[in-house]
Amino acid sequence: MNTVIIKKQGSKLKFEISDGTVCYYDFATSKFIKLVGDKEVYLSGSPRVLVRIPWYTDYDGRNKYVSFEDEKYGRYCEYVSRHHGCTTIGTLVGKLKEHPDAEQFFAAGFTAPRYGKSRLPKPSYINRRFGRFLLENNLAYYNWYNGVDQELLVEYFEIVKEIYFDGEVNGSFRNFVTYENNCAFGIYQMLITTYRYNKRTLVTYLRRLKDSEALSNYPNTITTLRDYARMMDVLLNGSFEKYPKNLLTAHHITVANFNSSKQTVDGLLFKRAVEHYIDLEDEIGEFAFLAPKEPQDLIREGANLHHCVASYVNSVSEMKTKIMLLRNKKSLDESLVTIEVRNGAIVQAKGLGNRCVTQIEHDVIILWAERKKLEYY
């Protein structure tokens, strides 16, 4: 069985086959080229000698027949192969042009994305500070990094690395970044921006709780602190002890006080949460983008449009998501489209019976997203 070495040369791929054959694939024309003497002959399909070389990896992840001059480009080809289920080189090269973002991703040095075209970062993210941080620390890229404050994310990782892991990049730190931090960073960001916690003091406090109260599960600990801060902010109107000596005791007492006036507090929590994104309200042409004023607004919206937005009341109150209401300015009381915004991106926009938005509605949402610096696909 022949083997092949693949080399990327500008807009072409060069194939050096073990039997001495040399051929190319031209991305500009989407055709293979075979050298016949000194002449280049364009072929109508894949060279027979290349077709006979299988494209697959064995049980330990190695390909016995195909190798690459550039290891990064090889990882890119393996990604495309998995994405499309390629079994031959001819099929593979035909799919490579469909994934330019992936090529940039692997060229930057990343090695372990979650497989799936939609889970790769935008090219503009790769060379930013957090991308360099991930590369320098040999960390994988995970989809949840999109849509968050990248500068704060890097600063957060650096602080955690210093305080929790003595500045070392070890397996425990990589596990923290990969597995424990998906929701934890969002909570950290909320505590910093909404409740005005100090970045370093907060992580130092959480580290102390690990020893003083045996709170070793980081995501659970920061979630408990978030719940405590959220309730105390409502009960005491923002003036409360941010770093209680005994978090669990303080949390239990706060829960008891909170539950004693729950109905009133629920409405206050919702209003307090919406106040943090009231700046998303806007008017464009004949349309208005409105924020709900109370939980009952979402209940009415769900009833009018026959969808489940009423179930998002708690998520809004806990500042996990933001709900906006698109209305016609001539009939502001009539429900039209419900929009969900999460992590700086519009994640869904639905009308009556969960219908997709019309072209006009889509266009105005695009304009609104650009004004408010939101991502919208």
With a cut of 50, say whether residue 115 has pLDDT above it: no
- List b or e across 49-80, with b for residues whose CB sees 16 or more CB atoms inside 10 angstroms: bbeebebeeeeeeebebbebeeebbbbbbbbb
pLDDT at 47: 83
Give, in order, the Cα–Cα distances in Å from 262 to each of 168, 223, 299.
45, 20, 18
From 60-74, 155-169, 201-215, 356-370, the region with the lowest mean pLDDT: 60-74
pTM (predicted TM-score): 0.55
The band of 141, judged by pLDDT with boundaries at 50, 70 and 90, is low
Mean pLDDT lowest for which of 256-270, 314-328, 331-345?
A: 256-270
Local structure of 169: helix, strand or coil: coil
The CA-atom distances, in angstroms, between 192 and each of 28, 264, 273, 285 are 50, 26, 15, 36
Instruction: Give residue-wise pLDDT tens across range 37-90.
Output: 778 888 888 888 787 887 765 444 456 788 899 988 988 888 888 888 888 888
Look at 79-93, 180-194, 239-253, 257-271 and tell me which has the smallest mean pLDDT.
Answer: 257-271
Strand partners, 338: 325, 350
Contacts of 181 (CB under 8 A, 6+ apart): 219
Choose from 139-143, 179-183, 206-210 the range with maximum mean pLDDT.
206-210
pLDDT number for residue 368: 96
Residue labelled with tokens 């239990």: 252
DSSP state of 240: S
Q: Any idea which of 58-62, 113-117, 226-230, 309-313 has the lowest mean pLDDT?
A: 58-62
* Among candidate residues 363, 373, 365, the one with its CA nearest the CA of residue 343: 373
**E-strand stretches of 57-157:** 66-68
- Give the burial string for 217-249 (b: 16+ CB within 10 Å, else e): ebbebbebbbbbbbbbbbbeeeebebbbeebee
Nearest Cα to Cα of residue 188 among 163, 216, 155? 155
Least confident window among 140-144, 220-224, 339-343, 369-373? 140-144
CA distance 361 to 358: 5
Nearest to 68 by CA among 84, 59, 52, 55: 55
* pLDDT band of 360, cuts 50, 70, 90: very high
Long-range contacts of 189-192 (CB under 8 A, 24+ apart): 189/148, 189/149, 189/152, 190/226, 190/319, 191/222, 191/225, 191/226, 191/229, 192/152
Residue that has been written with the tokens 């090695």 in this structure: 111
CA distances from 241 to 30, 82, 214, 250, 317 (A): 65, 52, 21, 10, 21
Q: Which of 279, 272, 208 is nearest to 246 (CA)?
A: 208
Q: What is the pLDDT of residue 60?
A: 45
